[in-house]
Amino acid sequence: MKKYITFILIFAIIGLLFGYLIFGKFAGEYISLNTIFSSSANAIEQFGRNISGLNSIKQNILISGGVGAILGFIIVFIRRK
């Protein structure tokens, strides 16, 4: 069981990396991970994140990680049979 969970986590991390490489660019440069995954301190900062699109970038990267985890689960399920 531990082997399966490790396999799924590895695919989730790979999905996050691919998501960052695909969606992490803003104005031609990659945004730092700290900027993407830090929380907003106040309403003005949250408003700025919404306008600049950081929230959608973060969401797309997390969805990519989820897709990677699902793909890892499917591969584990197929290999188990």
With tokens 């959608």, the residue in question is 56
What are the distances in angstroms from CA 19 to CA 16, 56, 59?
5, 12, 10
Q: Using one digit for the tens of pLDDT, what is the confidence trace for 51-73? A: 878 888 889 999 999 999 999 99
Q: Using one digit for the tens of pLDDT, what is the confidence trace for 3-32? A: 889 989 999 999 999 999 999 888 888 888
Secondary structure class of 30 (helix, strand, coil)? strand
| CB distance 5 to 66 below 8 Å | no
Q: Using one digit for the tens of pLDDT, what is the confidence trace for 28-44? A: 888 888 888 777 778 88
72 token code pair: 């890892």
**Residue 26 bridge partners (DSSP):** 29
